[in-house]
């Protein structure tokens, strides 16, 4: 699994070209996205918010 942006983009292009799955799905990244959204909301509100 690539660990940098270029590697991720190359993996995406490879999967599209060959019609294969990506090494990691968007579903696997949902917890990270939820954490980032909560961090932004926490900064905006000036208080701790739950990670949904």
Residue located via tokens 């990670």: 51
Nearest of 27, 10, 7, 26 to residue 18 by alpha carbon? 10
Query: φ and ψ at 14, to 5 degrees?
Result: -60, -45
What does the domain layout of the chain look like in residue ranges? 25-52
Q: Mean per-residue pLDDT for 11-36?
A: 90
Selection from 6-15, 19-28, 31-40 with the highest mean pLDDT: 31-40
Considering only residues 41 and 29, tell me which one the structure prediction assigns the higher pLDDT: 41
Map residue 13 onto helix, strand or coil: helix
Report which of residues 40 and 52 the model is more confident about. Answer: 40
| Assessment of whether the complete model's pTM goes beyond 0.95 | no
More confident position, 23 or 12: 12
CA-based angle 35:5:49, to the nearest 5?
Answer: 10
State the residue for tokens 């940098």.
4
């Amino acid at each position: 699994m690539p660990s940098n942006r270029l590697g991720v983009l190359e993996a995406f292009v490879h999967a599209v070209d060959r019609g294969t799955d990506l090494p990691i799905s968007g579903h696997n990244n949902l917890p990270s996205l939820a954490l980032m959204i909560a961090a932004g909301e926490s900064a905006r509100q000036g208080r701790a918010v739950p990670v949904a």
